Amino acid sequence: MSPLKITTGYAATGPVLKVLGELDYDNAPELSELVPTIPLRPGQCLVLDLGGMVFCDSSGLSALIAAHRHTQAARADIALAAVPAHTLRILRIVGLDQIFPIHPDTASATAP
Amino acid sequence: MMCRTGQQQEPHEADEAESSRGAFAALLEDSAEELYENAPCGYLSTLMDGTIAKINATLLGWLGLDREAVVGRMRFTDLLTVGGRLYHETHFAPMLQMQGEISGIALEIKQSGGGRIPVLVSSSVKHGSTGEPLLIRTTVFDARQRRAYEEELLRGRKAAEEARRQSEADRARLQDALAVLQQSLLPDILPVLPGVETAASYHTASPDRLGGDFYDVFPLDGKRFGFFLGDVCGKGPQAAAVTSLTRYTLRTAALHDPDPVTALTTLNKVLHERYAAGSGDPRYCTVVFGTLEPDPDTGQVAVRIASGGHPPAIVTRADGTADFLPTPGGLLVGVLPSAQFTAATTTLAPGDTLLLYTDGITEARTGPDRTSLYGDQALLSFASDHAGKPASALIEALTALLQRFGDGLDDDTALLALGAPTAGHRTRSSR
């Protein structure tokens, strides 16, 4: 099992969180608890780079939805980058691809 | 000189040692009879027939009897309670006769005042020079303290057993309550629908946790029936509460307006209002909701469904094929204040079956890591292998498949099959 690791960076568009490892029942709350502590100004975009995420279950989806809700409340945007194929398939099934802008990588997600 | 004292004692010191040794010896000599009489245990000697020949003052004191009333007049068994006498005759005396000695037997002796004292009794037979038995020597220990201690232990054990019984009863009550709640989440039996064969199965990954999957089938009006199957995010009591809210909201919504998209839109509003708006505990579900309208003349069943974020239903056909019934773009229910849901329709001809499932089956692990999953294509191909069979046969085959996954099944799985029976099959339901 690879535990969850989240690194925080900043781009011109706003904060960028890189999610590495497994976003599952045990680890997903880490992301949910971290997001509200990230400074986010109205109009900025929080980018979640999922390129290093090896697993995501329904708890992981819940964490993504919680992040979406948080950015909405902050009048900011959210975007996903480098979503792994398996997770992308699930996002499509549950319709979340309609509420999350999805980018191939962080560079395009943070392009001004 | 430091060593002188040790080498040779002074005359007066030697005298002192001498007199102290004498006093010690005198004490010992004096105590032989004294010890017998007043020892901290009872002594008695009896003839081989049990007649008491000698008894010490300690034991007489416990009994509250005079020596004259006992010696030569009473037998050892006369000192015992009825129970003790019985035990003496059946066990004590025979053992003593066989082994020549017996020790630590618990008996009770009677006091003249009517009381009784628990005692521990040891006896041995004294033999003559030619080996013939002469008399029996017996010691009697006061076991009152010990008995009190044993009773204390027994009381403690009884209390512990009572506590254990209580906690087991509590546990059983809790399990009963859970079972009742679980039953309120799923229909006990599926209703019998004219012109539709129904079959369902619920497979729990962990038996002691309330599951988050649900399904239901129910009549709408004279000719139509509603059905749904879904999956609430999470598990346990919180998920069960969402499941319950979802089930009864969908049933009520469908009675007002059976249109599948309308029913899901109502559910979305209810869930979002209850759990998302301002709550720190967002809850949502994926669900397929639909209606069935059997045509008694043709044996066909018209199906209308809508999906909110749920994996697509599968339709198996009488000709041995199977396909997804796509409902793309439907969003998880309860995430957004207003959400889009996608409708689809199909017609089941006799021998066709609509299969609804939760992702417990498609996400079942088939390899060592968490990314080798059974998958939707495998499920479709499995369903096509069983196409043309009745709904109950399809559910049976899928249930066997789930059992083969074993530990690979991480999540609960609900299955619901709705079929248009062939002319040979009468309407029936099974679960």
B420 and B297 co-located in one domain? yes
Q: Which residue type, as a one-letter code, is found at position B102?
A: I
Residues of chain A positioned with their CB less than 8 A from the CB of B339: 95
B137 and B190 co-located in one domain? no
pLDDT at A103: 93
In a domain, B150, yes or no: no
Is residue B171 classed exposed, middle or buried when 0-12, 13-18 and 19+ CB atoms within 10 A define those classes? exposed
What CATH number has the domain bearing residue B309?
A: 3.60.40.10
The DSSP H or E segment spanning B213 is strand B213-219
What CATH number has the domain bearing residue A92?
A: 3.30.750.24
Taking phi over 0 as left and psi of -120 to 50 as alpha, with beta for the rest, B388 belongs to left
Q: Within an 8 Å CB–CB cutoff, is residue A93 touching chain B?
A: yes
The reply to whether residue B309 touches residue A22, judged by beta carbons under 8 angstroms, is no
Cβ A46 vs Cβ A17: under 8 Å: yes
The partner residue sitting opposite A62, judged by closest CB among B233, B286, B373, is B233
Interface A:B, Cβ pairs < 8 A? 53
The reply to whether residue B309 touches residue A94, judged by beta carbons under 8 angstroms, is yes
pLDDT at B265: 95
User: What is the distance, to the nearest Å, from the Cα of residue B67 to the centroid of all Cα atoms in its chain?
Assistant: 62
* Nearest chain A residue to B368, by CA: A1
B143 contact partners, CB below 8 Å, separation of at least 6: B106, B117, B118, B119, B120
Q: Within an 8 Å CB–CB cutoff, is residue A54 touching chain B?
A: yes
pLDDT at B47: 93
B359 contact partners, CB below 8 Å, separation of at least 6: A93, B231, B311, B411
The reply to whether residue A94 touches residue B329, judged by beta carbons under 8 angstroms, is no
Cβ B412 vs Cβ B340: under 8 Å: no
Q: Within an 8 Å CB–CB cutoff, is residue A94 touching chain B?
A: yes
In a domain, B164, yes or no: no
Top residue of A24, A26, A94, A100 to mutate, by most chain B CBs within 10 Å, is: A94
B118 and B252 co-located in one domain? no
B102 and B250 co-located in one domain? no
The reply to whether residue A95 touches residue B331, judged by beta carbons under 8 angstroms, is yes
pLDDT digit string, tens, across residues B25-63: 666 666 788 889 999 999 999 999 999 999 999 999 999
The partner residue sitting opposite B336, judged by closest CB among A86, A94, A99, is A99
Which of B73, B108, B142 delimits the end of a domain?
Answer: B142
**Number of domains observed in the structure of chain B:** 2
Distance CA A9, CA A21 (A): 17
- Helix, strand and coil content of chain A, in percent to the nearest 5, comes to 40, 30, 30
In a domain, B8, yes or no: no
Q: Structural domain of residue A18, as residue ranges? A: 5-109
Distance CA B9, CA A29 (A): 90
Q: Within an 8 Å CB–CB cutoff, is residue B308 touching chain A?
A: yes
B274 and B393 co-located in one domain? yes
Top residue of B271, B331, B361 to mutate, by most chain A CBs within 10 Å, is: B331
In a domain, B92, yes or no: yes
Cβ B252 vs Cβ B263: under 8 Å: no
Asked if the ipTM is above 0.85, the reply is no
Q: Within an 8 Å CB–CB cutoff, is residue B310 touching chain A?
A: yes
Per-residue pLDDT of chain B (431 residues; tens, 9 = 90+): 444 444 455 556 666 667 777 777 666 666 788 889 999 999 999 999 999 999 999 999 999 999 999 999 999 999 999 988 999 999 999 999 899 999 989 999 999 989 999 999 999 999 988 989 999 999 999 998 888 888 889 999 999 999 999 999 999 998 888 777 777 788 888 888 899 999 999 888 766 666 688 999 999 988 899 999 999 877 777 888 888 899 999 999 999 999 999 999 999 999 988 887 665 667 889 999 999 999 999 999 999 999 998 999 999 999 999 999 998 878 899 888 888 898 999 999 999 999 999 888 888 887 777 667 788 888 899 989 998 999 999 999 999 988 888 877 777 889 999 999 987 654 444 44
pLDDT digit string, tens, across residues A26-52: 888 899 889 999 999 999 999 999 999
Report helix angle B391-405 to B376-385, nearest 10: 130
Top residue of B370, B374, B377 to mutate, by most chain A CBs within 10 Å, is: B370
Q: Shortest CA distance to B103 belongs to which of B89, B88, B92?
A: B92
DSSP category for residue B336: S
Q: Structural domain of residue B282, as residue ranges? A: 186-430
Q: How many angstroms away from the CA of A66 is the closest CA of chain B? A: 8
pLDDT digit string, tens, across residues B337-359: 888 898 999 999 999 999 999 88
**Number of domains observed in the structure of chain A:** 1
